Amino acid sequence: MKKILILTTGGTIASVEREEGLSPELSAKELLRFLPEPHEKMNIDSKIVMNVDSTNIQPEYWVKMADSVYKNYNHYDGFVITHGTDTLGYTSAALSYMLQGLDKPVVLTGSQVPISFKENDAVKNLSDALRFACEDIGGVFVVFDGRVIQGTRAIKIRTKSYNAFESINHPYVAYVNKGEVTYHKKPDFSTQKLEFNPKLCMDVFVMKLYPGMKPEIFDYLSESYKGIIIESFGSGGLPNAGRNLLAKVKELTEKGISIVITTQCLEEGVDLFLYEVGRKAAKHPVILTGDMNTEAIVAKLMWALGQTDLLTKVKEIMETPLAGDLTVK
């Protein structure tokens, strides 16, 4: 019999209707009462970590979740974290970096409709997450709508539909259907050893590039942030004519500020060596992100800056694949 710990954090799955709108209130024991069948093959315990709408999730809360897993790690075979969907992708990525070397599953799930509603996706998602938490596998995963996604690859792309999450630039790990798990490719974790490193630096800013952006914005950002993620156009690159952003990027990297280049395109990632505008940017010590998604980049940059202030070391950490976040070509 597998021993599973449910960690609840709030979110839609645990929400009830109130005068001002949906608000998370249900505990794990209350959530389990809605499941149609007893989980006789599992010994389930639960703990409330927090009870918030995921819009209010902060990086400090990631640390609380990771700490809850770490402190209970030797007492359970798997973990399920119930979470709101809006920031679930950020949390799953953050936990992937703070809890490296897992040889047990840490499974995040949530729902688009509260479990207390007559028609919902919460019952299926929670049941599937509990089932996958019994697997002999290590890592952080998102289980949603019958699909298992690597924790660093999950992105919410739909606001209402049950199939809210997609695995971006990475195949699904597995599928869960009526209690049966079918793997696409089971990750290798046999030689891993758990390393818990929750130190984060939250001085990170995400900038979405648009035509006409003023270069002076970088002067302000350099006073408040140690890392700036630029969601550029297409395959990457920065404007270097007219309103010249590249010159400002050069100034900031010389000050030791980490400049990360990604793309606004959801799939296939960046390639700064394809076009002239990209190659000129790549001549500076900017950080290249390949096919990583923004949620993972944010969490990884906070984690990397938590380890070191040295730009060359941050660049090395960011460009090294961790927890399946980056495809090696």
Q: Which residues have a catalytic role annotated? A: 12
Q: Which residues pair with 22 in a beta bridge?
A: 17
Comparing C-alpha atoms, which of 82, 74, 3, 81 is closest to residue 42?
A: 3
Tell me the two tokens of residue 129.
């997450």
Amino acid at residue number 33: R
Give CA 42 to chain center in angstroms.
27
| Three-state secondary structure call for residue 134 | coil
- Report the alpha-carbon distance of residue 220 to residue 278 in Å, rounded: 24
- Report the alpha-carbon distance of residue 201 to residue 188 in Å, rounded: 30
Neighbour count for residue 98 (Cβ, 10 Å): 25
Q: Using CB atoms within 10 Å of the CB of residue 192, give its burial: 0 to 12 exposed, 13 to 18 middle, 19+ buried.
A: middle
